[in-house]
Amino acid sequence: MKNHPFHLVENSPWPITASMGIMTMTSGTILWIHSNNMLLMNLGTLIIILTMTQWWRDVIRESTFQGLHTKKVIKSMKWGMMLFITSEVLFFSSFFWAFFHSSLSPAIEVGIQWPPLGVKPFNPISIPLLNTLILLSSGISITWAHNAIINSNFSQSKQSLWITILLGVYFTILQGIEYMEAPFSMADSVYGSTFFMSTGFHGIHVMIGTVFIFVSTMRLMKLHMSMYHHVGFEASAWYWHFVDVVWLFLYCSVYWWGG
């Protein structure tokens, strides 16, 4: 018995296994860079994936089957997600800062022009424009899914979520094709480094968001959510809208204006 609405978590092995996995992966990444040996890095990545899967399984069990996520806990989780997205905004702000710092006043090392001398940028009305339409469409479909869940129309919510997942996968495939056809590399001056860092990290966020929505879809199909209890889905929808907005800024600045 307790006289407060908060969930005090029990002892768990996952924080220590997560720290071990992160330490192993970062050490393995250094070993891969210096010795071209990926074994330790892959081991650390596997530990992290297994830890995340089982840790989030426990969270789903606590919320869905044990009823430990009260209104206070749900409110705290929403605030946690909002603060996380705020940190992501600051993360991408650093890339935009680097891009505009270099493009608004190009240094003599890049020919005092932008794009730098010898760098051929992408055509903004080809694959980048198509990817913009894809992400905007996925934002519409996930909003449709949210509205369907609120109205207990689970057939439409599942349909719209699968559409969102397919659009996310399609975006990732097109970005991979774009990278393979790129006429410049990350080593091509500050243009290449800012381009691949900003668009590459955004691509990673799209893949993470796609997995996030896929897990929400699986939970919805297992009847883990209702019109009153769908915090996990809400978090994935917020994250996906954030990814959409970042892409709009990337398209307008890096592809269209910067090119």
- Do 247 and 125 lie in a common domain? yes
48 and 75 inside one domain = no
Contacts of 229 (CB under 8 A, 6+ apart): 63
Residue with tokens 């915090």: 231
Q: Which H or E element spans position 223? A: none
CATH code of the domain covering residue 149: 1.20.120.80
Q: Note whether 223 and 183 are same-domain residues.
A: yes
The first and second tokens of residue 115, run together, are: 């794009």
Domain, as residue range, for 9: 1-69
The predicted model scores a pTM of 0.88
Question: Do residues 83 and 39 both lie within one domain?
Answer: no
Provide the CATH number for the domain around residue 47.
1.10.287.70
Q: Answer yes or no: do 158 and 215 share one domain.
A: yes
* Positive/negative CA dihedral, 136, 137, 140, 142: negative
Domains contained in the chain, number: 2
Domain endpoint, select from 23, 51, 69? 69
Q: How far apart are the first and last CA of the chain?
A: 63
Give per-10-residue mean pLDDT for the chain (259 aa).
77 94 95 92 95 91 83 90 96 94 86 85 90 95 94 91 96 94 87 92 95 93 85 93 96 89
